[in-house]
Amino acid sequence: MFKWIVGGLATFFSIRYLSRLQRASTNITSRIRVSIHKVNLTGIELTAAVQIQNPNPVTLKLQHPFVKILFKDKLLGSSTIENTIIEIPENSQKDFDLRIQSAGWLTLIQVLGTKVVSDIRSGAPIELKIQTQIITRVNGLPHEQFDNIILKL
């Protein structure tokens, strides 16, 4: 009889802990800022400042974020993939600075058009409405977030 009580309590607390982790992984928020780092012969190098916030009373294990930059659902560039696990303590945040290499001038011309690419190369002021996608895993559960932002040069 004692084994059944202990087993029932262990199951109850395990389910409670796992449901808290799942709820916590859906409560995280992320913010991203993208800027043009440099323009070179191979394309555009962007920088992305990603801030992931954990407003939960539970420490979360987070896989290093992967960022994709899209323009009208076409890929402009992406960050490198890192297979590292980072812990975010309860009620805190973590900042990541990522480099994003674009696909190259030929692809940029096909995606953005010749006028926008020539404005980028000449340094003329432009505003691009881009979409960012942050992909990560929180406590083993996949997490994606899309944001629409304006990239200014």
Domains of the chain: 2-152 (2.60.40.10)
**pLDDT 10s digits, 30-48:** 888 988 888 888 878 889 9
| Three-point CA angle 30, 26, 86, nearest 5° | 60
**pLDDT 10s digits, 13-30:** 666 665 655 555 557 888
**pLDDT 10s digits, 87-115:** 989 889 999 999 988 777 888 888 888 88
Question: Please, are residues 33 and 15 in contact by the beta-carbon 8 Å criterion?
Answer: no
Amino acid letter at 143?
A: H
- Six token digits for residue 14: 């395990």
- Six token digits for residue 48: 């992305």
Q: Which helix (H) or strand (E) holds 117?
A: helix 114-122
